[in-house]
Structure 1
Amino acid sequence: MADKGKPAASKPVDKDAEQRKDIIRTIKGPVMARLLEMVPAFAAYDDPYGTIMSTPDLLSACLQLVRTRREKFQEFLVDIAGNPVSTDDVPLRCGRSLDQIVGMVVRSGTKAYSDKRWGSNTSAVHKVPVNPVQKGLLDKLKELVGGKWSDSEVPKPSPTQGDRFYVAIKDHLDFDWQVPLIPYFAELPVKLINELGRGVTSLRTPDGIAALADIGRHSMDQARKIMSDSMMREMLDTQPLAAKGVAFLGKDRYEFLHGAVYEKMGENFWEMCVDCDRLEAMEIQNAKDLEQMAEWLHLISGDTITQIVTYLQFHQIPIFLGVAQERLGEQIFSEIFGPPGNKKLIKMFCEKVARTPLDLADPLEDLKRRLPDVFNAYLRSPVDFEKGL
């Protein structure tokens, strides 16, 4: 008698895929039901889940509800033993943390939006409603991209544009703050998103995305010619808006500044390069003065640099900036000394230092002792200080 054939080997279980399916079922079912209880207006939609996922404003609001009204969702936020989980980075019963699930939802929402915006291989294009608050900047983005990037890079309404956009950006989507930015990211050329890589996540505001579009392909290509491949990659990963400043500097001046302050500044060097007015003020400064203020160059304005070099001695520079930042606090320091800054106050502070008689035996230590009083006087009465009282 012939042997019976061996039973077919069972297909190995894809644990990751099963986790994803379980999470999606939970979100579409009980989590969606809870959201409908909390926001009854969602029930007016024919497909509440699909509408929320494809509408960034709604999706962002729902994610904020989960974060701020955690007690309403606590039954879903438990570990494998059923114990409540109170932090966002601890694995839940499904095997993933809340942070990881939020990342999944952000990517799913981006895919849903792009399919609705452009259509995909399996869906038709639909008109995407635009929030009036968004409309002005979105229109500006379209105009900037259309005028400053080549035809091959400008998003076109083809059936697969949504898929190309999603593939380009999905690996860089992890955070709920990115959801309101989805419509703005969608206006960027896919080629540029691929070029930026994780640098996309450095664009944390609609204005930042619009500023990138305003740079244009020419500046990006000029920056690539000026920098080494490794520095170009670091810039794109850290602060892509610096491309405009690098192009503004040109090769010789870029190499001078890079040699003078990059070692002390690290990645803050790219933040410094965002502001061309600041770079212009640095054009005529020597390397030693710039090195003394390297710790603050990404924070201060061009006018601050000019006044400091005009009034302060070489070794006084880091003492002045360090005490100012400590005494005034980050916000006031930025308002006065950061771009665009307060030109009158910058000059007043620098002049006061220049006029202060210091102990010749140890002038720097004496300056450290006297400077706090100057900034404290401003904090006590900004109006009187500006009047020179």
Structure 2
Amino acid sequence: MSDKGKPAAKAVDKDAQNRKEIIRAIKGPVTERVLELIPALKSYDDPYGTVMATPDLLFACLQLVTTRREKFHDLIVDGNGAPVEDNDTPLRCERTLNQIVGMVVRSGAKAYADHRWGTALKPPGKVTQSPATKSLLDKLADLVKGKWSEAEQPKPSPTQGDKFYAAIKDHLDFDWQVPLIPYFAEIPVKLINELGKGVTTLRTPEGIASLADIGRHSMEQARKILSDEMMREMLDTQPLAAKGVAFLGKERYEFLHGAVYEKMGDKFWEMCVDCDRLEAMEVQNAKDLENMAEWLHEISGETINQLVHYLQFNQIPIFLGVAQERLGEGPFRAIFGPPGNKKLIKMFCEKTQRTPLDPSDPLEDLKRRLPDVFGAYLRSPADFEKGL
């Protein structure tokens, strides 16, 4: 009998099968294991649905898989059933643990959006937040209302959750983003679309609030000043730099870009976040700025002013390099970064200026002597500040 009349067998979509298996495992054995470890979650009518729609709970559960990995060893296995100890080796489902976490983060954002705004078939649910989270969200909502047009503000509607999720989903991959989902939801969808992957640079609620505080005017001013290529790079790297670019204006931006961008690369945008720093740079010449380009994204406006006032041109990079190495990154930023310690900045610069140097090779002598200056501070910060 001929088979000519039979339709061709439908090709098996292995990736779709694996995805279904991952979802089945998360809803089934993984959720059961989490409930064993956190019995309080059993009090919910739908523990899985509640956790997925509640970012704080979802983040805690994701952290549980990391901190108590041994409790999930029989579920985190490769194709041969052997436990996988890292996050980048493919599991039985042919995806890594990191990729699965990304799936969960995106699912959590979708669940939160559906719960908050409702869907075409289901009304919004009651979203509960801790007092601290609610306070920050209220502040963020006020900033959005004050800085962005009414038409761009999120409004409760059957499709708002879908719009938010469509805008954010391609930029959600990491567990640290889960607690930020309620804050991302306060950003106008139009701005999320404009930021693109730059959303992932906003790693704190305060950072998201700072973006909202910038406002549409500064963003549009930055767009007028920057080329399309530079605007995209800024948004992808550090969107908070829009405020600084707008502050500079076209002429001064082009001067600074020409002076230091080649040496700084994308750290240039981090430099542009602080307007006080940019104001201090406005009165400096290009050579001085180029000489400290390696540190301009870290140091304060006060540091820039004092360095140029007290030190010779070729002493500045030596000073900053030794200070960073001798003090360590944390203390270096605390003293020389914004807002910094004005008294100590001046004292370090004055002591460097007064240090007697070998005239035959003053720069090498400065490299030898500067560690002692910073070492004296490290041995006794209080005495150093008193000038002892």
Other-structure match for 2:208: 209
Structure 1 residue 183: Cα displacement: 0.1
User: Which AA in structure 2 matches 1:9?
Assistant: A
Q: Unpaired segments of 5 or more residues in structure 1? A: none
Matched, 1:240 2:245: no
**Cα offset, 1:5, TM superposition:** 6.0
Q: CA deviation at 1:122?
A: 3.2
Q: 1:310 to 1:10 in 2, by over 3 A?
A: same
Q: Does 1:148 align with 2:147?
A: yes
Superimposed CA distance per residue, residues 154-194 of structure 1 (whole angstroms, 9 cap, x where no aligned partner) = 11111100000000000000000000000000000000000
| In structure 2, C-alpha distance between the alignment counterparts of 1:271 and 1:373, rounded to whole Å | 31
Q: Cα distance, 1:12 vs. partner?
A: 1.6
Structure 1 residue 125: deviation in Å?
1.3
1:81-109 deviations in Å (ceiling 9; x for gaps): 11111100100011100000000000000
Structure 2 residue 279 is the aligned partner of structure 1 residue 271: no
**Residue in structure 2 matched with residue 353 of structure 1 by the alignment:** 352
- SS of residue matched to 2:152: coil
Paired residue secondary structure (1:75): coil
Residue identity in the other structure for 1:275: D
The question of 1:171 aligning with 2:194 is answered no
| d(CA) in 1 for partners of 2:275, 2:177 | 27
Aligned to 1:159: 158
Look up the match of 1:368.
367
2:88 corresponding residue in structure 1: 89
Paired with 1:36 and 1:86, the residues of 2 have a C-alpha distance of 23
Q: What are the Cα deviations for residues 91-148 of structure 1, in whole angstroms up to 9, with x where unaligned?
A: 0011100000000000000000000011123322122112211011100111010111
Equivalent positions of 1:255-294 (< 5 A) are: 255-294=254-293
Equivalent residue runs for 1:1-389 within 5 Å: 6-389=5-388
Tell me which amino acid in the other structure corresponds to 1:62. Answer: C
Q: Deviations over 1:323-381 (max 9, x none)?
A: 00000000000110000000000000000011111111110000000000000000000
CA–CA distance in 1 between the matches of 2:213 and 2:78?
47
Distance in 1 of aligned mates of 2:34 and 2:45: 15
Distance 1:249 1:153 in 2: 27
Q: Name which of structure 1's ranges 173-182 and 75-84 shifts more when overlaid on structure 2.
A: 75-84
Offset, 1:31: 0.6
Residues 260-301 of structure 1 show CA distances to partners (whole Å, capped at 9, x for unaligned) of: 000000000000000001001111000000001000000000
- Alpha-carbon deviations, 1:203-224, whole Å to 9, x = none? 0000000000000000000000
CA distance in 2, matches of 1:115, 1:298: 40
The aligned amino acid for 1:87 is D
Mean CA deviation greater in 31-40 or 114-123: 114-123
Misfit runs of 4+, over 3 Å: 2-5
| Aligned AA (1:303) | E
Query: Matched residues in 2 for 1:313 and 1:21: separation?
Result: 66
Task: Give the whole-Å Cα distance in 1 for the aligned partners of 2:355 and 2:58.
Answer: 57
Secondary structure of the 2:329 match is: helix
Question: Against the structure 1 CA distance between its residues 368 and 159, is the aligned structure 2 distance closer, same or farther, given a 3 Å change threshold?
Answer: same
| Rounded Cα–Cα distance in structure 1 between residues aligned with 2:3 and 2:218 | 71
- Which amino acid is the alignment partner of residue 166 of structure 1? Y
The CA distance in 2 between the partners of 1:110 and 1:41, in whole Å, is: 23
1:123 and 1:16 map into 2 onto residues whose CA distance is 30
Shift of 1:6: 1.7
Secondary structure of the residue that 1:92 maps to in structure 2? Answer: coil
